[in-house]
Amino acid sequence: MATRNKVAKAKSKATAARAKSSAKKSSKKVVKLKVKKPAAKTAGNGLPRLSSKPFGQAGRALEGVRILDFTHVQSGPTCTQLLAYMGADCIKVERPGVGDITRGQLRDVKGADSLYFTMLNGSKRSITIDSKHAKGREILDRLVQQCDVLVENFAPGALDRMGLTWEHIHKLNPRMIVASVKGFGPGPYEDCKVYENVAQCAGGSASTTGFRDGPPLVTGSQIGDSGTGLHLALGIVAALYQRIRTGRGQRVLAAMQDGVLNLCRVKLRDQQRLKHGPLTEYSQHGEGVPFGAAVPRAGNDSGGGQPGWILKCKGWETDPDAYIYFITQAPVYATPPARLPRLRQIFDTVEKWTETKNKFEAMEILNKYDIPCGPILSMKEIAEDESLRATGTVVEVDHPTRGKYLTVGNPIKMSDSPADVRRSPLIGEHTDEILRKVLGYSEKEVGDIKQSGAITAPDKPAKAEAA
């Protein structure tokens, strides 16, 4: 018992000593080091902080976005080139030894890529891959994992035949956006191949273009191909923005018929108005010509309520483009009912004056009176227009095999995102670079890939698939 008491007292003394020591330590002043907080990435309201860099020096709009470009000919390349101009890294996938079929179409310089190709594929990188080769399919899968958007305008079903179904792509990369141009949307014609003029006819443009006593006409503007490519680019940017919220990609479809119809919406407007009476702003109404069941071809009539026509200017006898478009706002005929029966008289009178001026002189004088007008500019005049070059609408670039050529720059001007307009790539020019820097293949692996034939032209290259 005495022994246990001694042990207990000893433990009690030891506990007291530890407590006393602890109390002394706690009485000392504790100095805490201030941890430097990282700079806030947001402005406190969830939005990014304002850039401190001057306008135009904070990077391009789509910097950091990587495009897997399976496009060819015109509609798809229009879309991806615009995205590349805005800063996206656009990787164009081409068949070894074949490439985009337009490289050799309408060729004007022997041995060089055609202007058809170079003017639709600027600011891109090119890699050649045989999609039918096992190693080639492996490379494609890696690209799918490393890219944000896949863009294609193959014939219906071609992407699936390559093994790149939506399910396969989405499994490899749930964030991937798959964007497609097709001729028609879902319906009886969705499996049909479509080219520019077919789209113009199916989308309502041709039936409403030309003069009423002549056949339907297609327009010189590529509203079927390039127009649909522009629609697709908008869909892609919208899908990228939505992905910020959802974290997942989606499919984006732009049908050429739909794109043309969107650009012809005023004619669909007129079709509905026609049910309630004649289209009074059309010149044929003023001439007493009855309307049929469908919107007619209206020659050079304006699409709005102000009648317009193309008038001859000085030199029209020898210059096919010596004309000006003139919209009448004659005060004597201040209302449409007063003007329409006399349109021919008005235009004939004005034309007697425009024939004494060249189109630029006429435009300068008419603009002083706020009369809407515009010269008929030839492609030669546009190519030589210094103001268009100054704004970057027309750009001269240098190509290693064909030399300098003109191309159309970014038609969309952004104050904080300068356009990146560079020449088109040679076929497979960036294959090694992409394999190493984008996909992470080692030197040995790249050598093995070359030996395998997955990125080189076969003995008998396959024929490029039509658009």
Residues taking part in catalysis = 225
Whether the CB-CB separation of 270 and 304 falls below 8 Å is answered with no
Going by C-alpha positions, the residue among 450, 395, 380 that lies closest to residue 136 is: 450
- 237's tokens: 């940017």
Phi first, then psi: give them for residue 42, nearest 5 degrees: -120, 165
Phi-psi region of 108 (alpha: psi -120 to 50; beta: other; left: phi over 0): alpha
Phi first, then psi: give them for residue 396, nearest 5 degrees: -100, 125
- 440's tokens: 């992470």
